[in-house]
Structure formats: structure tokens, C-alpha cells
Amino acid sequence: MKFLSDFLPVALFFGSYLITHDMFLATKVLVAATTLLFAWTWFKHRKVDAMQWINLILSVVLGAATVISHNDLFIIWKFTVLYWLMALALLVSDFMGKNGLKLLIGEQLQLPQAIWRKLAYAWAAFFSAMGALNLYVAFNFSREIWLSFKLFGSLGLMVIFIIAQSLFLSKYIEDKK
């Protein structure tokens, strides 16, 4: 559910661009949606995780830079920076002796430490590749193709990656009957 709610601002960004063909209005919609989602999460749970803070800050700062400068490269970079920060957070947490994924979902999964590490590295590699792919598509294709990639391509790749991770993890999950 959290994944889908985090994806909502991107879908609204895409939809507003499709309707108006105005990247700067779409950026305003993205910033507003991200801000409203952040506020809703805060009021519902009375806490917001670190990645939501980072997403809000990047959206507001780079969204404002996009609108003020009339340069859409700032909002394009926002997605890459977010992916790369997630990858970096996973790697740094592992370096510091804490597995970021285990901290996030360790209550739902019981895995050997070596598997947690492989999982964190796989996600860090995935996020690094997604950041690079975002820039590749943005700088080699039209904005419409980039936006379609942001909505459908990145979601599709995420689903494929999650399925692959699930298949990998299935041998470590016990069937409790």
C-alpha cells in the first residue's frame, strides 16, 4: 500500500502533463501531491519515515527550481537523486553494521544475515541502475517518452524486480501449517 501511495504523485504528475502538455504545471502538481501525501501520512500515523522526508525535500526544492528557472532538468534529476540516495542509504547502513532492509521489513521476514546483505546489495544495485536509466531516457528521448517511462517503465521494472526478489526469497520462507 505504501508503494502505491508513494507512486500517486508520479501518476498525477504524468496525468497533468498529458492533459496540459505543461511540464511546469505538472511539476507544481507533483510538489502539491507529494506535500499533501506527506501531510496525510503525518496526521494519520504521527510519524514520517526518512525517505518520505527526503522525497518531500527533493520535490519541493527541485520542483521550485524547475518552476522558477523554467528548466525541467531539475525535476528530471529529482527522480535520479532519490533513487541514488536510496541506494546510498542501503550501502551506508550495511557499512555501519545495520541492514537498512532488515530495519524496514525485518519483522515480516526471518532471514539469515548473509541473505539480508545480498538483498540490500541487490536493492542498492537496482536503485543505482534505475537512477542511471532515468537519466538515459531523459537525455535521449522526448519528454513524453521520459514521462511514460517514469510512470509505466519504472513501475514495470519495480514489479519485475519485486517478483524476482520474491522468487529468490521463497526458499527461505517457511510454510507455517
Q: Give yes or no for a contact between 26 and 18, defined as CB atoms under 8 angstroms apart.
A: no
Distance (Å) of CA 35 to CA 24, 49, 53, 106, 107: 17, 14, 10, 28, 29
Cα 120 to Cα 24: distance, rounded to the nearest angstrom = 35
> Phi/psi at 46 (nearest 5 deg)?
60, 20
CA distance 51 to 24: 24
Q: Does the reported pTM lie above 0.95?
A: no
Give tens-digit pLDDT for 49-96.
888 899 899 999 999 999 999 999 999 999 999 999 999 999 999 889
Could you read off the pLDDT of 110-122 as tens digits, one per residue? 888 888 899 999 9
Which value, to the nearest 10 degrees, does the dihedral of the CA atoms of residues 98, 99, 103, 105 take? Answer: -170
Residues 113-142, mean pLDDT to the nearest whole number: 95
